[in-house]
């Protein structure tokens, strides 16, 4: 919660909701992520803490320990923010994370997707409910509410709100879209209709995909391994309708690559055409994934030239997610030893798949490894408890629960 008018409205709504009979037993906790990118961020976090205290709502601040200094800083900050919110949810035992994204944000997201030539998934905008981790959902209750109404709500309460100067930065494409939307209010109903149209198409295609994955898992034509790889029978893929095969390939790549987004449509289309158009071996690298197609098509994480980001000692906890792909639970005694989690390949060791697996180190000393690396690590190295999230990533947000039940049998 940033302290801006949107998040303050969410704070007020949570306070009113807990007074109702239906939600009276729900615990609301307020979390502020301090990105450390502006000098006043700590003061703003303190402001939110004071507001929460006045409403008798618990508050905690989560700080981004190593903020990005170069590259796409907004994207890095967004990724860090959701990671920290998830950390807070796990610490609190929460199953839902509420954010104050509103209708203006949704329209901007749609227009940005339109500008980059996205398909239905991108043009459908943000999901009202999104799986952010196993057992934890991200919920956006204000997606149909204009941002102006949220500002008016805060103003009517006489509450001061934080004014983030980046929201007026006209060099940002998103901010320019925001200014155009404010000046052309007549476009809003048409844009909302477009979003609804693409959301319906996305949902229908995802329903078909859920049935396909369930069927492939039940027959052994799809498997997920504990080393973070996915494999599909190539002949079975060839029998899938083109749009569904495309969506499956996008999801498979994103699942093993650990990121939030799949690669662009044209590159995936070329991959699908190559896979379905012949029987010869195909080896490709796409979107952070390595694809090796023979009789089966295997997807694995690519270590890459720059390697895979680790988890610094300051961010290590009893449960963390490594590279978006593994749920890692270090032993308690390791948390007090200035340990960190890195990819095995950062030590210059392992085959292409082993290089991408998480290991626990102190300095350059190997302390604990997952089961797949026990033999290679040698004697005296402890076991690191890990659980792959690849199958969950492949299926997240799909509507059919049968898919989850079936793929559980396909994990080995």
In tens digits, what is the pLDDT along the chain, a chain of 412 residues? 677 889 999 999 999 998 888 888 889 999 998 877 677 778 888 888 898 999 999 999 888 877 666 677 777 888 888 888 998 998 899 999 999 999 999 999 999 898 888 889 999 999 999 999 999 999 999 999 999 999 999 898 888 777 665 666 666 777 777 777 776 667 889 999 999 999 999 999 999 999 999 999 999 999 999 999 999 999 999 899 989 999 999 999 999 998 877 777 788 999 888 888 777 899 999 999 999 999 999 999 999 999 999 988 877 878 888 999 999 999 888 887 789 999 999 999 999 999 999 999 998 899 999 999 999 998 889 999 999 999 999 999 998 644 454 455 444 4
Q: Are 360 and 368 in contact (CB under 8 A)?
A: yes
Q: Work out the end-to-end distance of the chain between its first and last CA atoms, rounded to an integer number of angstroms.
A: 40
Strands (E), 147-281: 222-224, 230-233
Secondary structure class of 294 (helix, strand, coil): coil
- What span, in angstroms and rounded, lies between the C-alpha atoms of 110 and 280? 39
CA angle 348, 350, 351 (to 5 degrees): 125
pLDDT at 412: 46
Find where tokens 């959301």 sit.
199
Secondary structure class of 389 (helix, strand, coil): coil
- What span, in angstroms and rounded, lies between the C-alpha atoms of 10 and 92? 19
Overall fold of domain 5-183 = Rossmann fold (3.40.50)
Domain ranges of the chain: 5-183, 193-304+394-410, 313-390
Secondary structure class of 264 (helix, strand, coil): coil
């Amino acid at each position: 919660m940033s302290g801006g008018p949107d998040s303050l409205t969410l704070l007020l709504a949570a306070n009113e909701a807990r007074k109702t009979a239906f939600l009276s037993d729900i615990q609301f906790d307020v979390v502020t992520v301090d990105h450390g990118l502006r000098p006043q961020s700590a003061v703003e976090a303190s402001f939110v803490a004071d507001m929460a205290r006045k409403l008798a709502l618990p508050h905690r601040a989560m700080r981004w320990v190593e903020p990005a200094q170069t590259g796409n800083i907004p994207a890095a900050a967004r990724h860090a923010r959701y990671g920290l919110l998830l950390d807070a949810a796990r610490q609190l035992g929460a199953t839902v994370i509420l954010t104050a994204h509103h209708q203006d944000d949704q329209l901007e997201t749609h227009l940005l997707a339109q500008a980059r030539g996205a398909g239905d998934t991108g043009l459908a905008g943000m999901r009202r409910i999104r799986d952010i981790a196993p057992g934890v959902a991200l919920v956006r209750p204000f997606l149909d509410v204009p941002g102006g109404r949220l500002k008016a709500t805060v103003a009517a309460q006489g509450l001061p709100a934080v004014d983030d100067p980046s929201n007026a930065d006209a060099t940002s494409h998103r901010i320019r879209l925001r200014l155009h939307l404010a000046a052309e209010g007549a476009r809003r109903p048409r844009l909302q209709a477009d979003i609804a149209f693409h959301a319906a198409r996305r949902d229908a295609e995802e329903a078909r995909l859920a049935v396909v994955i369930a069927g492939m898992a039940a027959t052994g034509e799809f498997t997920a391994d504990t080393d973070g790889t996915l494999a599909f029978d190539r002949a079975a893929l060839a029998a899938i309708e083109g749009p569904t095969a495309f969506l499956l390939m996008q999801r498979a790549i994103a699942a093993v690559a650990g990121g939030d987004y799949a690669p662009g449509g044209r590159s995936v289309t070329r991959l699908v055409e190559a896979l379905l158009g012949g029987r010869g071996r195909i080896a490709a690298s796409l979107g952070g994934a390595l694809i090796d197609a023979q009789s089966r098509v295997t997807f694995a994480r690519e270590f890459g030239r720059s390697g895979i980001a680790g988890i610094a000692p300051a961010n290590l906890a009893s449960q963390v997610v490594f590279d978006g792909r593994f749920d890692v639970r270090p032993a308690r005694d390791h948390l007090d030893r200035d340990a960190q989690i890195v990819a095995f390949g950062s030590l210059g060791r392992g085959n292409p798949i082993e290089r991408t697996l998480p290991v626990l180190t102190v300095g350059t000393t190997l302390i604990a490894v997952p089961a797949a690396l026990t033999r290679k690590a040698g004697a005296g190295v402890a076991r690191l408890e890990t659980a792959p999230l690849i199958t969950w990533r492949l299926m997240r947000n799909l509507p059919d629960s049968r898919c989850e039940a079936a793929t559980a049998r396909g994990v080995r």
